[in-house]
Structure formats: C-alpha cells, structure tokens
Amino acid sequence: MRNPLSSKVTPIKPSGIRKFFDIVSEMDDAISLGVGEPDFDTPWHIREEGIYSLERGKTFYTSNSGLKELKEEVCAYLSRRFNLEYDFRNEVFITVGGSEAIDLALRSMLDEGDEVLLPQPSYVSYEPCITLADGVPVIIELQEKDEFKLTKEQLLEAITPKTKILIMPFPNNPTGAIMTREELKDIAEVCVEKDLYVISDEIYSELTYSGNHVSIASLPGMRERTIVINGFSKSYAMTGWRLGYACGPEVIIEQMLKIHQFAIMCAPTTSQYAAVEALKNGDADVEKMRIAYNQRRNYLMKEFKDMGLDCFEPFGAFYVFPSIKKFGMTSDEFATRLLKQEKLAVVPGTAFGDCGEGFLRISYAYSMDDLKKALQCLRHFIETITEKDA
Amino acid sequence: MKKEILDIINYNSRISNKDIAAMTNSSEEEVAAEIKQMEDNKVICGYSTLINWDNTDCEKVTALIEIKVTPQRDMGFNKVAERIYKFEEVESVYLMSGAYDLTVIIEGKSMKEVSRFVTEKLSTLEYVTSTATYFVLKKYKEHGVIMTDENRDTERMLITP
C-alpha cells in the first residue's frame, strides 16, 4: 500500500501542550491554571440572541463573508475602539475563530520559501500554519529583559531579502506582553522601509490593563500592509461559538475569502447573530470582565512576590509568565513535578517556543477562589523545592 | 478605589482586607481605612449572609406586601414608612412609584404568622388604606446569586493553548 500521508504534514510536531493535557486528563482531582479561555459564561443577552435566532429559523448559510449586519457592526466597533477604518463591503469578513483567519492570511500571502518572522513565545498555531502554507518560519526570540516586546533591533536583525510577513502577536499569549503606540511606531517604520506585510493577531485587544490597546494597522503607512485578526472568543467569552474576523486591504481579503468560501462556506449562522448583539450591547460586559481580570492579575503579582517567584509585570491578555530559572529545573521538569506533587497543572513556557524555557504560563482565567487554592499549592511546592536545596 | 472595594465586597463580604489590597494593588492599611470611612459614612450599612433557607430544616416564609397609604401633611410617606419599618418582622420597605405606595417584605416562620402580622399590625395602622399580600413560593435568584441547584459544573477542558 502507498503511504497515505502527506510529507508536509507528518513532520509537524503535535502541540507541546498535548503531553500535559494527557497526564491531567488521567488525574481526577487535579486543579489547573492551564486554560487559554475565559472562565466567564457568555453574557446571557448574547446567548439569548443566539437562541432567538434559532427560534426565528435563522438556520441557513449566511453569505460567504458573513452577515452584512455583523460586518457593519465589526467596522463600527473597530472604528470606535481602535481608530481602524474598514469598508464592510470588501475589507472585512467573518471567520471560524481567529485561528481560521491566521491560516487563511498565511495561505493567501505566501509562496514557497517566503520567510515569515515569528516572535516567540507565542501562540502554538503560527509556526505549523506557516509551514503548511509553504513559508519558512524565522523565529525571533523575545527577551524577558524587554518585557517580551519585539524590538526594532531584533526585527532588523532577522530580516532577509526573502522576508515577506511579520506576525505581531500582541497582547501576547503566553507572556501577557503588550506593545505601546511608541513601541509599535518603531516596528511600523521598519515594516514600511523594508516593505513587510504584517499579520496582527489582536484577539486579546480588549484585555489590556494599562490603557487602550493600539493596533499597528492604525499607524501611518500600515493599513495597506496589515491584516488585522480579531474575534469574539476572549473579549466576550465566546470561545465555543467559534467566531472571528479578518480585516485588511481588499486585494488580500479577496483571496482569503476565496479559500474561506471553498473550505468553510461561512461561519456559523447562530454565532453570527449572537455576535451582532455582543458588538451592539456588550461594552459593559467587556468592562466588567476586564476589571475582574485586572484584580486577579494584581493578586497574582502580589502573591508571586511574596512566595519569591520572579515575574515581569504583564499588562495584557489573562496570562502571567513567571521565571523559574532560579530553581534549577527546566520548565518541563518544574511543571511535571508541580503536577505530580501538588496536582496543579500549568503550561511550561516551552510549549510556546524554545525560548519559553525557564518560564511557566499561568492563566488567571479563574475565579479568585480557584486562584487562591492553586496558589497555595504553588507556594507549598516552591517551599519544598527550596528547602531541599538549602 | 471606594467603588472598586464596594464592587468586590458586594458579592463577597468575607474577603480579607489583604486580598482586597492585592486585587486593587494597594495596601491593607489603605483598604482598612477606606472601609472604615465608608462604614462611618453609612455607605456600608452592614454585612449580611445570603442563605437559602429552603436547603435547611428551618421553616421560613417570605411575603411581599403592597400597601397604599394616605401621606401625612408635612411628613409625606416617611412617617408612615417609619411606623412600618420599626417592626422587627419587616425585612425591607421601599417607597414605590405607580399604583401603590410602599412595598414591604416580611419574613416569618409560617403563613399564619405572616397573615397575623398583616391583619393585626399592618392593615390596622392609621393611614394605611389597603394591603395586598403575596407569598413567595420559590426564590430562584437573590442579590445576583442563582439559588436553584443549577448544575454549574464547568465543562472547560483543563489545559488549552
């Protein structure tokens, strides 16, 4: 029999998170700070709108690019929140989560051998998606001393004549890093000068704690070379609805939409109706969740300090990324022992790139009660390992 | 700061000052001082516990009573309300807009006890022109908390990227 598999797919490593997921699933009483989705339920008025759409029999395909009403709301939202102006007719379309948009953007823009600059630590799908789109991932290792922001120097160093795209994953999963307007300006200048395109994954744009998120697409010269990816999962606690969107220049969006049309047809109709309600009447929900996340973030930073766990202060998403370097263990060892000894699951930084070595991703998408319990375990674990060493 | 503290203790008055301080990025002393000030200024009027009596062996009956009254010269509704809220049996008293004037919420051990209170104490009050009593059959949600045994087991996976 012939080999049924593609030589492009088989070498791709499964996500580093998988291993921990498997161990944790076997344990029945593990507690976890390992989740990358909000702990809040989707606000009821949004769910109710989804239900109502079903009652009205809105169970058919929408147009490939999504409901007109939703696209209009998306454009109005981006304009009022981030000063981004897009035409709902041909510069935006609705996707199955931000993930689909990442895949489509890469597939629509890359030819074989094109290099994509990928700052890491970052979300697990960029690298495989680049590879599957025949691109070559070029990793930029973000540094803790830079608070895991991308610097102009690092960017310039990584650029070659083959570089076509820069991925901008801010606010960042797993580090929680954000980039300010000034910092983005430096990056934007290089992109314009070196003629790079940018895929800006702004799925955590509503979750920033030191001022409003700035989209790189809103900076001079960037709109025509940026695909902005965003969605409803994190801001409105709608992960399971699988709904996102991509915005950008018509020439690129048109091609992305072509693949979407053949591969997906359209994003789920129920989710689209619910999302209209989210954008129209969901600002207060977002604000409420942001306040809760920020309180937990403050709480974690304080507790880490007390227990002697080093951590730079992250101002975005719902993750903190403490350093465990001083304990003389790899991230994997630390996380594995923490899970076995204290039954507390966290994700080793290495799941998000080799340069995540020496760090852990800890999510605060948990209630204060859950966080308290988990931090007791973490504190206890740190006490045991430092005692032994002493 | 005050608003943030209130929002936190509104749903968990047992949380420690230490935790509030950590959550609001301030010191325990600051939090204690703010709370003290709000207690002194009667912004915080007390601390109570949300109890689902249905899950205990204790018998409790709650009734909501609509009352129409004749407002008093110079004192409006306040004097009448005072005559009512001073009864220990009375949980809450609200002045309402609309078809009637006061809402009174009463807790008692039994329907009989509540009925007796309404007929003997409330309806006989001077200035009270009529009452309508509604007994609560089941409390689904109180003070923002769902009281039914709704299954809240989260189906979130334990680890996701």
Does position A138 have pLDDT exceeding 90, yes or no? yes
Q: What is the pLDDT of residue B153?
A: 65
**Residue B102 maps to which CATH number?**
3.30.70.920
- How confident is the model over A259-295, as pLDDT tens digits? 999 999 999 999 999 999 999 999 999 999 999 999 9
Q: Which of B7, B21, B160 sits opposite A36 (nearest CB)?
A: B160
Please give the distance of CA A140 from its chain centroid, rounded to a whole number: 17
Report the CATH number of the A17-42+284-381 domain: 3.90.1150.10
Mean pLDDT of A177-201: 98
Do the Cβ atoms of B23 and A298 come within 8 Å? yes
Q: Rounded CA gap, B79 and B44, in Å?
A: 24
pLDDT at res. A295: 98
Same domain, B31 and B99: no
Q: Is residue B153 part of a domain?
A: no
Q: Radius of gyration of chain A from Cα atoms?
A: 21
Give the whole-angstrom CA distance, residue A6 versus residue A238. 34
Same domain, yes or no, for B68 and B114? Answer: yes
Tell me if A299 and B19 make a contact (CB, 8 A cut-off): yes
Residues 6 or more apart whose CB falls under 8 angstroms from that of A40 comprise A237, A289, A292
Query: What pLDDT does B60 receive?
Result: 92
User: Would you say residue B69 lies in a domain?
Assistant: yes
Contacts of A192 (CB under 8 A, 6+ apart): A220, A221, A222, A225
Question: pLDDT for A97-126, tens place per residue?
Answer: 999 999 999 999 999 999 999 999 999 999
Considering the domain architecture, whether residues B62 and B112 belong to the same structural domain is answered as yes
Mean per-residue pLDDT, A181-209: 98
Exposure b/e, A155-173, CB count within 10 A at least 16 = b: beebbeeebbbbbbbbbbb
First to last CA, chain A: 60
A21, B23: Cβ pair inside 8 Å?
Answer: no
pLDDT band per the 50, 70, 90 thresholds, residue B75: confident
Range of the domain at B6: 2-40
pLDDT at A146 over 90: yes
For the segment A220-240, the average pLDDT, to the nearest whole number, is 98
Mean pLDDT (chain B, rounded): 92
**Mean pLDDT value of segment A24-47:** 93
Identify whether B72 is part of a domain.
Answer: yes
Choose, out of A39, A299, A300, the residue to mutate when testing the contact with B (most B CBs < 10 Å): A299
Select from A20, A24, A303 the Cβ nearest to the Cβ of B22.
Answer: A303
DSSP, res B120: I
User: pLDDT at position A388, please?
Assistant: 65
CATH topology of domain A58-281: Aspartate Aminotransferase; domain 2 (3.40.640)
Asked if pLDDT for residue A390 goes beyond 80, the answer is: no
Q: Number of structural domains, chain B?
A: 2
Please give the helix or strand (H or E) that residue B143 lies within, else none.
none
Task: Tell me, letter by letter, the H, E, C secondary structure of chain A.
Answer: CCCCCCCCCCCCCCCCHHHHHHHHHHCCCCEECECCCCCCCCCHHHHHHHHHHHHCCCCCCCCCCCCHHHHHHHHHHHHHHHCCCCCCCCCEEEECHHHHHHHHHHHHHCCCCCEEEEEECCCCCHHHHHHHCCCEEEEEECCHHHCCCCCHHHHHHHCCCCEEEEEECCCCCCCCCCCCHHHHHHHHHHHHHHCCEEEEECCCCCCECCCCCCCHHHCCCCHHHEEEEEECCCCCCCHHHCCEEEECCHHHHHHHHHHHHHHCCCCCHHHHHHHHHHHHHCHHHHHHHHHHHHHHHHHHHHHHHHHCCECCCCCECCEECCECHHHCCCHHHHHHHHHHHHCEECEEHHHHCHHHCCEEEEECCCCHHHHHHHHHHHHHHHHHHHHHHC
pLDDT at B152: 64
Q: Distance, in angstroms, between B25 CA and closest chain A CA?
A: 6
Determine, yes or no, domain membership for B113: yes
Total count of residues recorded for chain A: 390
Structural contact between residues A229 and A97, judged by C-beta atoms closer than 8 angstroms: no
A27: distance to nearest CA of chain B, Å?
11
Q: How many other CB atoms are found less than 10 A from the CB of residue A25?
A: 12
Residue B161: its chain A contacts at CB < 8 A?
A: 15, 17, 36, 123-125, 173, 351
What pLDDT does B151 receive?
63
Residue to mutate among B28, B150, B158, with most A CBs inside 10 A, is B158
Are B14 and B59 found together in one domain? no
**Residue A334 and residue A127: Cα distance in Å, rounded?**
25
ipTM score assigned to the predicted complex: 0.86
**How close, in Å, is residue B122 to chain A by CA atoms?**
40
Length of chain B: 161
Nearest CA in chain B to A40: B154
**Dist. CA A207–CA A312, nearest whole Å:** 17
* Contact assessment for residue A72 and residue A88, using Cβ atoms and an 8 Å cutoff: yes
Residue B46 lies in a domain: no
Of the candidates A20, A298, A372, the beta carbon closest to that of B159 is on: A20
A165, A152, A46, A151: which is closest to A111 by C-alpha? A165
- In chain A, the residue whose alpha carbon lies closest to the alpha carbon of B161 is A36
Query: What mean pLDDT, rounded, does chain A reach?
Result: 96
pLDDT at A389 over 70: no
Report chain A residues whose CB lies below 8 A from the CB of B22.
298-299, 302-303
CA distance B26 to A250: 48
Is the per-residue pLDDT at B154 higher than 70? no
Domain locations in chain A?
17-42+284-381, 58-281
